[in-house]
Structure 1
Amino acid sequence: MSVNVIQLVRSALPDTVVQQLSNCLGLPPEATTKVVDVTTPALVAGLLNKCATLDGARALFATILGQEVNADVAEQLPRLFASTTGVTQLSSTGRQLLEHSFERRIDGLSDTVSMQTGVPAHATHAVSGIAGSILMGVLKRHILEHRGNIGQLPTLLGQQLQTIAPFLNDGLTTVLGLGGAAAFAQTIGSQVRAVSSHFEHPAAAPMPTTARAPAEPALSATAISVAPPAREVRHVGPKAKHWFGMAALSALIGAIAAMLTWVALALCPAATSFLGQHAAAATVEAPGAATQADAQPASQAPRDDAASAVGKVEAEAAPAVAKDSQLIVAVDGKGKPTLTAIVQNVAEKSALLNALTKKFGAGNFNADITVDENRKAADWLAQIDALMPLLSTPGAEMKIDGTRVELSGTVADAKSGWLDRLKSLFGAPYQVSAFDAAQAVANAAQSFKNAAKSLGASCAGADVVKTLNLQVVNFASRDAHVPQSALDDLNQSAQLLKSCATSGHALKLEVAGFSDNLGSEAANLELSKERADAVRAVLVKAGVPADALVAQGYGNVRPVASNATESGRFANRRIEFSEVQAQTTQAQAQVQTK
């Protein structure tokens, strides 16, 4: 029952339908698409988290197969988007379904998407609900068409993890109550696998029971499969009422049968073997029906160490999510490209080298290509021929990291047209942008402020250093004056260090300056020292004791990113704090022993 759910949602929104929706919301189509691309992976993550418990998986399965979810929504979107009324109704239904499933309001998610995309909040609120309706609808359609059962739902959603992980960030996952994005991606897979395994093999992994009465017989996974109806009834009239009446009667008969079965098992143990032989053949004909008999008798079942009393499944840690493939390109003034790439296999490496050789000829390009089987497939290779004109543009810089494409150098200028060309070339789910240093500084400042607030009164050296290193001092080229944009963060850093000293936890830190690789090594070494001295001076002026800070310049050694792109050089031109108290203590001990 494997399928790419994100792709199903995107398939339901072709360009004509997106245009319709955009007209109703007063947005350009690209803005609507951007919101859908950011929101949908987060919604899948929320549903995936719901399946991390047995009760959550049961509830979500029932919700998806409920009457509120329209399995035909993809086909009906053109009609629904023909008016603002249809858009409003679909969005409202989707938001209600999501909030019921997540057990929380999703306004926070819509607001976060608005901040991350720059799209007005009223539009992201509407689109999030619509994306929810479509997501639930395509899931229902898929389950019905493949006669899926409750045990397959966690597996199906778990298969989406590698697809959605690149699009998740702490802002999205935190507002949904999932914690940090990286931690969520590393742990959720094992949890949903354990839930799915319990449904498939209930006897091997019984859940603890709280009652001492004999439990109902555990049915196999096929006992909760669903049979797709020939056609869903969506109107309210005599036929609909008749259908509901029949469904209610079927549910009543089923409840009576279950009760009689339970009594038979309690009073006649011999019935157990008979039912056990025939349970696998039992099916539930009514959509959305689910068994409530997952437990073995408490007196017979071994303790289930994989589940807690509330049904949360704790399993062994999931394997690390594969890293993205990568391509970094820098073109010199004569149009000769230098490439660094990490791909998944030899075939991808050969494909890249063949394309370069065909375009430039042997010896007319530089390429350092690493094969790492733990990387994801380099899907961007499908567009490599179309990228060749960019790779021969003097001064061009490009970085592709999975589905994120970043331009700098001469091709980052909007007048060059490359930004729009690559957006059109790659399409969803790729995110194409030009590097923006000012935005990078603002993002770093916000991260620093959040971390400093979370740090509270802690003065543990490692935590303080980690927090201080989140800030960015964005010096002007070949200049050692501390920019105005960095003063607020440095003053806050000074207050943090003074508070630690006042509480008896004074720290001694090294203020290290680093540079990119532009210019000579000697000039970079001198410049990095001047910048470290300048930062130290600001901190001392703000009240940090002078003897608590040591400034040192290291030039262009120990780069943290490639110097081939503007964002990489930006990252390498940095101020880095480290604790030197331990080093000093060790040196003093050595002197005393001499």
Structure 2
Amino acid sequence: MSINAIQLIQSAMTDGVVRQLAGRFGLPADATQKVLAVAAPALVAGLMQKGATLDGARSLFATILSPEVNGHIAEQLPRLIGSTTGLSQLEMAGRQLLERTLDRRVDVLSDEVASQTGVPAHATHAMTGIVGATLLGLLKRHCLEGRGNAGQLPTLLGHQLPVIAPFLNDRLMAALGLGGVGAFAGNILAQLKAVSSHIDHPTPAAKPAADASPSIQVPVDAVVREERRSHTWLWWLLAAIAAVLAFLFLRGCQGEQSAGRVGAHNSADVPVTAQPPLAPVQASAAVVTASDAAASAPAASAATPASSASDAQQPAAAIVPTQDSQFSFTVDAAGKPTLTATVGSEAEKTQLMDELTKRLGQYNFVPNITVDPATKPADWLAHFDSLLPLLSLPGAEVKVAGTHIELSGTAADKKLGWLDKLKSLLGTSYQIGSFDVAHAVADANENFRSAIKNLLAPDSSCAAADVVKVLNLQVINFASASAHVPASAVDDLKQSARVLNACAGNGKTARLEVAGYSDNVGGEQANLQLSKQRANAVRAYLVKTGVPADSLLAQGYGQARPVASNDTASGRFANRRIEFVAQQ
């Protein structure tokens, strides 16, 4: 299962892909290549550290094989980054996966990449997420094609050290929360080998153990051989214990009928005693998705019925539906809808696609439908007829989340009456409303003013994490194309300044980044520039109100890192934001 992860990334990030990314971020191709050359080895080092513990290796393997990771990303990269939506979704997915995997914010690493390459932070943030999504996708494909398991993953990661070591430095390691390069390189291989030796490796029951190695491409080394010897010794010990228990049981029983019962007891115990080394193999295979079932078949066939029944419960526990299904669409001036949906099964996706094709025609809509097993059943599919007319209404925007429906654009036009129509058609089981900017701002500011009272108390916390949590409740609703601080935000910014000044006066200065973001309406470069101007305007206002200038850094990120879908007015409103971030 040995690979060179950096070579795999380079083969996916072709010259054409690099030029595409460079054009997207307004960079020279060599600057883009420089970011990839710094970020990729650092991310591999982060995965190595994650795999250096038993729980970490199992968690990492489960993440790699999860539905969120795209095993076909190498072929799909040019198409994914060919559109603004695809690029944003890929970046966001990669960043979320990395933060879940590395157990830390990935911004710290991408900030360091920006510092070392001289490339603007908004570009390194995005490209770090894209590299992360690509790396995990490539590992997923290799694991499935090689029928790899959690026990082999630490060994595979250990093989990367000679490849990535020349590209690492102490500052990158610090950004990952690791020690210096020397300490990392000196300890990581031993840790990975120890983890690999404690996680069982699959062995097909019909063949000797020696025959299994070529099929899964595990390097033959002392660690693997010691693991197999330890299992043999354990088997004989358990068999001896079983024999002693059986002997004692036989002595206590009289007659032919009792002896028969003892024989039945022994015949049930022996397979259970001999089988435990294979149980973790099934646990590893349990995270493989349905499309990967063929890769898991050899390991699954080796399990006893008892272990199969036990392990069958494991994936069910891992994918208990916890989030609402989502469905949103926006209709262009010609009446053609672009749809985004998240459903819980392939069957629901097929049902939705069939309904759309039957009602609208195969080429009269643009779908973007994702299947996530953690998603609850889509009840709204049963009421699709009620939503159908809106799919052809130019300018209509609709968002469905579980049993909540939000209308915007022409769908919220009171003259057309769609709000009342849907309430009549769907009844009280659905909460239906229309998005209103003024109400959204008022609600947000009310929450902010209530929360900031706690920060103004004499014994309040000045921890940066606590401060930004409250400051980010306020909404600074700039006028369209304007970077002038709106009058509606002045009072709240004054309260924010009071908190920051109080902390500075107590010697607990909170150092923050004022980050500006936009929605996806308009040109990408224009949005980036506007977001920078708005961030600078907020910083300037706070500094004018007394906040120490050296405690605030302003940065604009344009339409990167959306927090909601840009398909609806409420989503675009959420994405047009000023976000306060604690500086390290």
Q: Give the TM-score normalised by the residue count of structure 2.
A: 0.44
Q: Give the TM-score normalised by the residue count of structure 1.
A: 0.43
Higher helix share: 2
